[in-house]
Amino acid sequence: MWTDIDRIIASNQTFVITSHIHPDGDAIGTELALCEFLRARGKDATIINTSPTPVIYRFLDPGGMMRAPASQEDLPRITAADAILIVDINDWKRLGMIGDTVRTSPAAKAVIDHHPYQDTIVPTTVIDVKASSTAELMYDLITSLGGPLTRPAANGLYTGILTDTGSFRFGNTTPTAHTITARLLEAGVQPAAIYDFVYNQNSEARLRLMGRVLSDMTIAYRGQVAWIVVTQQLFKETGALPEDTSSLVDATLTIAGVEIGLIFVETAEGTIRVSLRSRGRQDVNKIAGALGGGGHRAASGAVLPGPLDDAIRRVTGAIEATMNAE
C-alpha cells in the first residue's frame, strides 16, 4: 500500500505537508506526525496550511513548526519543494489560498485520505474509506516504513483518531481504530491530558453562543430534522469566533427522533457554511454532494451563497425531498 509513497520519501529531501482549510484534529494530528517522522529521518519537512491552527490543537505543536495561516512568503517553499504530501483531503479547492501553488508546483505529490471521492487529483493516492481517520492511515505508514513513532507523533495520531471517531462513538470506531489507539497509549499518549486540551477549553463566549443558538433552534419534518443558525450579528453579540461553531451541530442529534441535524453559519464574506449530521439512516453526504459539498454518510458540509434564508430554504428543501422520496 505504501510502496509509492515510500519511494517519494526515500528519493526526496525537502517536503511540504498540507491539508484542508479549517483543519480538524485529524488533519493537524496527521500532519504533525508525518512531519515528525520525516524530520526523524533527516528530511527537511514543513507544514503549510491556509487556515490558522485552531487554539485547541496548538498543544500538539509547542515548537510552532506549522506555518499557518500561510502567507505569500510561504508560496515559494511550495514551488521549490521536492515533494508535497497532502493529507485528509483530495480536492485542490479545499486547500484554500495555497491550492493553486500546490497544484502547479513541479514537486512530486501524494494524497493520503479516508474520504470517498469520485476522482483522484494526483497519481500517487492512498485513499482508504474504511479507515476511521487519516491518522489511522498515517500510523500504518509510519510503522510500515519502520518508524520512528515519536511521542509528539503519537499524540497527533491519537488526537486524529479521538476527534474523527467522536471520542470512539461514531460508526467508524473499528477494532483497528482501537488496536492502533492501544499502541499509541503504549507509545506514551496520556488520554486524559489530551481530552482536556481538546474538549475542555471552551471560552465563555462559546458557551454563551451555544446557549443562544440552542434556544432559537428549529425542529421540522415531524421532529426528524433540527437546525441551528449562527449569524454574523450573533458572533458580534457573544464575542464568539467562527471556530467556536465546530461541533455545535452535534447537540441537535441528541434529541430523540431527530434523524438529521444542521448548523448554518454566516461567514464574514456573506457565504453560508452548512454542516450536516445524520444519526445513520439518512446519507447526508448525498445531500451535501447535491449542494456542491461533500463528506461522509453521517457528517458532511457545503458552502452556499447567501443570504441565510435562501441557503436554509435550499438545504432544508433538499432534505425534505430526500425524506419524501423514501
Least distance in Å: CB of 25 to Mn ion?
8
Coil, strand or helix at 211: helix
136 binding Mn ion? (CB under 5 A): no
Give the C-alpha separation, 40 to 243, whole Å: 32
Question: Which option in ligand 5GP, Mn ion, none does residue 165 bind, with CB closer than 5 to 8 A by kind?
Answer: none
Grid coordinates given for 173:
470506531
Kind of pairing, strands 14-18 and 108-113? unpaired
Least distance in Å: CB of 281 to ligand 5GP?
18
Cα dihedral 212/215/218/223 (nearest 10): 140
H helix or E strand, kind and range, residue 261: strand 260-266
Q: 284 to 313, contacts with Mn ion by CB under 5 A?
A: none
Question: Which option in ligand 5GP, Mn ion, none does residue 164 bind, with CB closer than 5 to 8 A by kind?
Answer: Mn ion
H helix or E strand, kind and range, residue 274: strand 272-278
Least distance in Å: CB of 163 to Mn ion?
8
67 binding ligand 5GP? (CB under 6 A): no
CB 264 within 8 A of CB 227: yes
31 binding Mn ion? (CB under 5 A): no
Among 25, 29, 96, 295, binds ligand 5GP (CB under 6 A): 295
Question: Which option in ligand 5GP, Mn ion, none does residue 26 bind, with CB closer than 5 to 8 A by kind?
Answer: Mn ion
Task: Tell me, residue by residue from 10 to 29, as one string, x for binding to Mn ion by CB under 5 A and - for no binding.
Answer: ----------------x---
Least distance in Å: CB of 88 to Mn ion?
5
Q: Going by C-beta distance under 8 Å and a sequence separation of 6 or more, which residues neighbour residue 198?
A: 25, 56, 57, 159, 162, 163
The alpha-helical segments, DSSP class H, found in the chain are 3-10, 25-40, 75-80, 99-104, 134-144, 151-164, 175-186, 191-199, 204-215, 232-238, 284-290, 308-324
Least distance in Å: CB of 55 to ligand 5GP?
17
Number of residues that bind ligand 5GP (CB under 6 A): 12
Among 296, 304, 311, 319, binds ligand 5GP (CB under 6 A): 296
Chain residues binding Mn ion by CB under 5 A are 26, 88, 133-134, 164
Q: Site residues (CB under 6 A) for ligand 5GP?
A: 91, 115, 275, 293-296, 299-303
